[in-house]
């Protein structure tokens, strides 16, 4: 069997089919060299019916959509109403837990920046949500005169010699400080450290700016799909 796995976010869609993988702007679907026998989907978008029809038209099969559950593969959801936790965050947390069978912190940096915590007993504590780099920079562009975000995200955190570079460095430092504080908070609460998994489109920009060691895992949500929909 050949499964096409799709992680469709607000901005970008990541996919994997056998040994092939890629990324597209959401909500586009990949063109494949083989016909998949299954399509497994994790999406935070609300137009699930339209997406299901598009998948059926493109591949001729019915899509299987992952859902956030109260418990999966040893991890217990920390939300009072599990359906309120984004399925992408849930699958990433489960996949990270399965990868090391110990306490984990999953940091995803894309349109939003999210941090989720799973303790040594598999208890998901919930997490944090903050604006991602583009949202931070775009908010300054809307509210502040003479500030315009760069077309691409600047990795520098050196003091800026102009407004644009000052915004780029300042917002990257803000995001790094947010993640560092979240990781320290876990250790303060529990008295032990957790392995930090870093994923998302801006992970490469952030990874070198953190004070804690991280494990780069760009396909955590796709890995979680295989656990939720075996």
Residue numbers annotated as active site? 88
One-letter-per-residue 3-state SS of the chain: CCEEEEEECCCEEEEEECCEEEEEECCCCCCCCCCCCEEEEEECCCCHHHHHHHHHHHHCCCCEECCCCCEECCEECCCCCHHHCCHHHHHHHHHHHHHHCCCEEEEEECCEEEEEEECCCCEEEEEEEEECHHHHHHHHHHHCCCCCCCCCCCCCCCCCCCHHHHHHHHHHHHHHHHHHHHHHHHHHHHCCCCEEEEECCCHHHHHCCCCCCCEECCCHHHHHHHHHCC
């Amino acid at each position: 069997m050949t499964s096409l796995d799709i992680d469709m976010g607000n901005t970008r869609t990541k996919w994997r089919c056998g040994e092939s993988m890629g990324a597209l702007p959401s909500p586009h679907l990949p063109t494949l060299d083989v016909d998949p026998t299954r399509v497994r989907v994790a999406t935070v978008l609300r137009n699930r019916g339209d997406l299901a029809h598009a998948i059926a038209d493109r591949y001729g099969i019915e899509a299987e959509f992952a859902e956030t559950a109260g418990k999966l593969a040893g991890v217990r959801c920390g939300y009072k109403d599990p359906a309120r936790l984004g399925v992408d965050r849930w699958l990433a947390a489960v996949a990270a837990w399965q990868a090391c069978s110990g306490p984990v912190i999953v940091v995803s940096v894309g349109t939003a920046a999210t941090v989720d915590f799973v303790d040594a007993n598999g208890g998901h504590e919930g997490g944090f949500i903050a604006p991602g780099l583009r949202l931070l920079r775009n908010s300054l562009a809307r509210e502040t005169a003479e500030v315009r975000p760069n077309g691409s995200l600047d990795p520098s955190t050196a003091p800026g010699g102009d407004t644009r570079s000052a915004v780029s460095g300042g917002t990257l430092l803000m995001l790094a400080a947010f993640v560092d504080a979240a990781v320290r908070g876990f250790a303060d609460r529990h008295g032990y450290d957790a392995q930090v998994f870093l994923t998302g489109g801006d992970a490469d920009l952030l990874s070198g700016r953190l004070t804690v060691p991280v494990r780069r895992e760009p396909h955590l949500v796709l890995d979680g799909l295989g656990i939720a929909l075996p």
